[in-house]
């Protein structure tokens, strides 16, 4: 009886902990990418993780690392920017998970800030050796394209 | 003694689970409404739930469903938009809850993105058959109107 | 054996509760400051807490209170604004914690909304008599300044 209750508590708590770990992982993306910390951003992805964003197909952790150090990204960061993520809806299933959120890229240009892009984001995550990592991330601009809207389906 | 500790753990965990369920429910709103998934958006509300937003008074789940399919909303979505919600402050009291957050509507227009509205949001929620649903949502533009600010009081 | 499991559960749950309390505390900032509730905003800080934001150095809870009532802040609020915070990355260590997030200030001006500032935020928090409070908050505009980026390092 006590064992049953302990087992149930452990399972329920583990579920909250998994969601917390994934929410935190994705929550780190904005601050780290805007700090241009290439090592830390890359470490959010699995070794063979992918990031597919508007005409840029990264196929590994090393590719993500290179993106952060790229002239395009360095240009954004030195001018001033925030990759601002919205609330993440996480669905865990054993050692894999899906997370969905919207995002806004705000950039600083000529003494002003403006919204450069709004995006839809879908993450597939995997637990490797007890640590959650991003296996696939797909981001599309919310510019009316139906493919962006398709990313926003969440599991209820 | 063991029973007391188990009871306490179960109560504390249930509180976190309730807050998690409500945070997730509200977190689903943006992705689902921007995906124009009328069924899924409507399902966030109670059957007799209401949504009162700037000159639009919805009085039921069916009204919310109709809003998503309306020409106004479809126009936003096909042009590109994000209903972007901020951090939600949730206060649960038994089978009812209040949640408060701010929001920003970003729209795509003529190849650019801009902020069309900032809003204050107050949700009253109820647990029906174990599932949290929105009973009342009130949204007002943060355009200097004192009524919008009044929505932002949170329970500490 | 049962005691070990209970102890472990209590520790794990306490960690989630601490993170929840801090996330909620910081999540209250936007709604409360935009409601211009000076008492409630000030109560988020420790008595001797500080808030260092772009040329404004507050050195106490009373200073934070005065900021909310200042003509500058009242001007923002009566025109319409949202101090919009992004996902908070919290790291708790006993009775102290660090939290990092990005933020966007959206203001209403001449019938339009626009982004007035994007910011990097670092909070140091302390638990006083069981209640988490802000001990130090530093905010810098993400306008290309390297000091702003330095605030965004998160503990992984």
Which of helix, strand or coil describes residue B19?
Answer: helix
Q: How far is CA A12 from CA B8, B14, B17, B43, in A?
A: 14, 9, 9, 25
3-state SS track over A29-93: HHHHHHCCCHHHHHCCEEEEEEEEECCEEECCHHHHHHHHHCHHHHHHHHHCEEEEECCCEEEEE
Neighbours of B36 (CB within 10 A): 18
Pick C118's closest partner by Cβ from A36, A40, A113. Answer: A113
Residues in chain C with CB shorter than 8 Å from the CB of B144 are 77-80, 108
Q: What's the start-to-end Cα distance of chain A, in Å?
A: 32
**Ordered mean pLDDT values, 10 residues apiece, chain C (156 residues):** 96 98 98 98 98 93 98 97 98 98 97 97 98 98 96 85
Give pLDDT tens digits for B4-61: 999 999 999 999 999 999 999 999 999 999 999 999 999 999 999 999 998 799 999 9
Predicted pLDDT at B156: 66
ipTM over 0.90: yes
Q: Where are the alpha helices (DSSP H) in chain B?
A: 2-34, 38-42, 61-69, 71-79, 146-150
Residues β-bridged to residue B123: B99, B137
Contact of C106 with chain A, judged by CB distance below 8 Å, is answered with: no
* CB contact A133 to C (< 8 Å): no
Interface residue A91 vs chain B (CB under 8 A) = no
Which chain C residue's Cα is nearest to A38?
Answer: C153
Interchain CB distance below 8 Å, B108 and A142? yes
**Structure tokens belonging to residue A82:** 């925030």
Q: What is the pLDDT of residues A53-104, one digit of tens each?
A: 987 999 999 999 999 999 999 999 999 999 999 999 999 999 999 999 999 9
Using DSSP bridges, classify how beta strands B112-128 and C112-128 pair: parallel, antiparallel or unpaired: unpaired
Helix (H) / strand (E) containing C123:
strand C112-128
pLDDT at A156: 66
Answer yes or no: do B86 and C30 touch at CB < 8 A. yes
Distance between CA atoms of residues C154 and C42, nearest Å: 26
Residue of chain B with shortest Cα separation from A114: B114
Q: Which residues pair with B98 in a beta bridge?
A: B91, B124
Q: Which of C7, C35, C89 to mutate to test the interface with B (most CBs of B within 10 A)?
A: C35
3-state secondary structure of C3: helix
């Amino acid at each position: 009886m006590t064992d049953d209750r302990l087992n149930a508590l452990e399972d329920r708590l583990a579920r909250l902990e998994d969601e917390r770990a994934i929410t935190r992982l994705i929550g780190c993306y904005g601050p780290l990418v805007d700090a241009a910390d290439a090592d830390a951003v890359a470490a959010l992805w699995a070794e063979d993780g992918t990031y597919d964003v508007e005409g840029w197909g990264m196929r590994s952790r090393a590719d993500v690392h290179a993106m952060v150090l790229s002239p395009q990204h360095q240009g954004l960061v030195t001018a001033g920017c925030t990759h601002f993520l919205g609330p993440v809806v996480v669905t865990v299933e054993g050692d894999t998970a899906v997370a969905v959120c919207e995002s806004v890229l705000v950039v600083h240009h000529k003494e002003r800030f403006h919204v450069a892009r709004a995006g839809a984001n879908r993450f597939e995550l995997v637990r490797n050796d007890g640590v959650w990592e991003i296996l696939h991330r797909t981001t599309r601009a919310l510019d009316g394209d139906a493919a962006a809207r398709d990313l926003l389906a969440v599991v209820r």
